[in-house]
Amino acid sequence: TRIELPKYSLEMLEKGPKAKFTVCVEGNIGSGKSTLLEHFSKFDDVEVLQEPVEKWRDVRGCNLLDLMYKDPCRWAHTFQAYVQMTMLELHLQSTQAPVKLIERSLYSARYCFVENLYKGGKMSSAEYSVYCEWYKMITQHLNVNIDLIVYLKTDPKKLYKRIKERSRSEEQAIPFQYLEALHNLHEGWLTEKKYPLPAPVLVLDANDNLSTMYKKFEEHTSDILCQKL
């Protein structure tokens, strides 16, 4: 089997896709990023790019997400290398609508997930260094511009419950401490500014039930879409 790669022009690689108002939705596992994306996909002027989780679950028949959860010491680096590639595809993807809404970014993979795996001893120094060098090369030379980050801030206890309820098979063994560590890293990056922030951050409390969350999305429509509609 051959993997068909999208065709990028040199210009697109250097300058990025056609200028758009690019919004990334961030937040811990189960915080409701897909719900926000689905809500905004109803606007004609918004193009939504969902996170490629399905690709991570099936790389030429391999479920990398599952391998990573079952044996992180062996697979975390391979998995995160693939996440980085697929996230870069989203950043570089040209869209037609004035607003491009992306689930996650290269940045949360780097400053939350990879940092957590390295600090937790699941990635060796050598693997971490290779990953970081790739990250540096990409972010220095390619246009991965973001205009706004929407952070769905959620209590990890709530997330633990939601993850059990949605029962994505690979995630069933995630311990509470893993979610707590990821929560602290999201906070460190997005509210305490411990790592470089590529754009301003709009924080939304995402602990509420679905109907309240939909109301919040409505209230913040102009903030999120920068009154482009």
Helix axes 72-92, 125-141, angle to 10 degrees: 0
If one counts every other C-beta atom within 10 angstroms of the C-beta of residue 85, the result is 15
What's the min distance (Å) between Cβ of 29 and ligand TTP? 4
Looking at the Cβ atoms of 19 and 137, the one nearer to ligand TTP is: 137
Do the strands 21-26 and 99-103 form a parallel or antiparallel pair, or are they unpaired? parallel
CA–CA dist 202, 190 (Å, integer): 9
What's the min distance (Å) between Cβ of 181 and ligand TTP? 12
CA–CA dist 214, 221 (Å, integer): 10
Looking at the Cβ atoms of 34 and 207, the one nearer to ligand TTP is: 34
Looking at the Cβ atoms of 89 and 171, the one nearer to ligand TTP is: 171
What's the min distance (Å) between Cβ of 82 and ligand TTP? 10
103 as an active site residue: the answer is yes
What's the min distance (Å) between Cβ of 123 and ligand TTP? 11
Residues found near ligand TTP in the complex (CB under 6 A)? 27, 29-34, 51, 53, 65, 80, 83, 104, 109, 113, 171
Its sign, for the CA torsion 138, 77, 84, 156, is negative
Looking at the Cβ atoms of 179 and 225, the one nearer to ligand TTP is: 179
Q: Are 31 and 107 in contact (CB under 8 A)?
A: no
Catalytic residue among 103, 127, 187, 218: 103
Catalytic residues: 103
